[in-house]
Amino acid sequence: MTLRYGTNPHQQARVIDGSGDHLRVLRGSASMINYLDALNAWQLVADARRAAGRAAAASFKHVSPAGAALDGPLDDTMRESWGLGTARLGSLAAAYVRARDADPRSSYGDMVAVSEPVDDELAEMLATVVSDGIIAPGYAPGTVAKLARKKKGRFLVLEIDPAYRPPSTEIRTVFGVAIEQDRDDRPITADLLDAVDGSALTAASTTDALLGIITARFTQSNTVVFVRDGMTVGVGAGQQSRVDCTQLAGAKARTWWTRRHHSIRSLALPADLPRQQRLNWQIALAADTLTATQHDELAHLLLRSGVAIEDLEPATRSHRLSGLTMVSDGYLPFRDNVDVAAEHGVAVIVEPAGALHGDTIVRACREHDIALVRTNRRMFHH
């Protein structure tokens, strides 16, 4: 099957094997990255569904999740950001809102994956956001037609057979060299979680730990994932230094939390500003990353609502985020990772173990009153 293009538009691409009945293209046309995002995202939500017993959703961009979440409650910021009002959402739509809200700037133009068949509620919600496609184990009557209207008919709709199990080995060819390895298909269960130091995990922190491990399993390494209440709030992916992953995940989690401050939520932007632009301004302000040009542009936008940018109340960081679970796909080599985690409100660290100076990690966790959990299983993904 010929794809729209490969990694880049100037590269042709085709599916040469594995395009059997377990994966069907119902609408749209796929690029190679669409396929990579969809297939990795499906594995993530399927694993999360098995581990937690709840509906799961993921928002994928460039072969890593921008966010992943289980069904759960929606806070006021989520409801305001996605125009949900006070209506109660079903489990599937709620899981996706929680996944997309983790990093809505990165989720722009995402590949969506959900663990359950798409219902009318989710289809209607997806009609209001910018996405490239979706992969799901089924679709309620009429939902494919609704989704097919997105992107002038180019929105990709994939259906996966949830009973399909791939071969036990996988092959990658790079520069004329073909490499075969065993597929990483070991189950992710609570049995992996060995509490080395600190209090035993609660049921909620166990679920967060499992979701973090599963998310890391399908995120480009090195990676660190911050999880809270059954949803990722910070994913630091694809960094060469592990502490850079920790800092990136922590910065994203802090931005997610600061978006909940009333000064960000009540930002007096023009009513006619599109949702994504509104979110981008809120994120830039929450992350404190405005450039000089952006500062001037935001000042102009606020003046349209009669507000001077100098009069904005600072989005205080004193209401510190807490109760986070941090998962690392590889062992923590130095205590700087623990120190950074503590600054961002991490209460539980989950890592594979194996560092030469692993005892310093134990001591650092004890100093910061962080529970340390080791899995003895690395989760690299490339």
pLDDT, tens digit (0-9, with 9 covering 90-100), for 111-147: 999 999 999 999 999 999 999 999 999 999 999 999 9
In a domain, 363, yes or no: yes
**317, pLDDT greater than 80:** no
Measured at the CA of 190, the angle between CA 189 and CA 193, to 5 degrees, comes to: 115
Q: What are phi and psi of 82, to 5 degrees?
A: -110, 15
In a domain, 214, yes or no: yes
Length of the chain: 382
Share of the chain above pLDDT 70, in %: 98
Domain match, 354 and 224 both: yes
Query: H-helix or E-strand containing 125?
Result: helix 120-126
**318, pLDDT greater than 70:** no
pLDDT tens for 72-112 read 999 999 999 999 988 889 999 999 999 999 999 999 999 99
By the 8 A CB rule, do 160 and 134 touch?
no
Domain match, 281 and 326 both: no
For the record, the structure tokens of 231 come out as 């949803």
pLDDT tens for 285-308 read 999 999 999 999 999 999 988 888
CA–CA separation, 168 vs 7, rounded Å? 26
CA–CA separation, 215 vs 220, rounded Å? 10
Domain match, 175 and 298 both: no
As annotated, the active-site residues are 61-62, 222, 382
DSSP secondary-structure letter at 17?
S
Q: How many helical (H) and strand (E) elements, i.e. helices and strands, does the chain have?
A: 12, 14
C-alpha closest to that of 219 among 6, 344, 69, 41: 41
Give the chain's domain count: 3
CA–CA separation, 382 vs 365, rounded Å? 29
- The stretch 174-202 carries a mean pLDDT of 91
Which of residues 164, 191, 212 is at a domain's end? 164
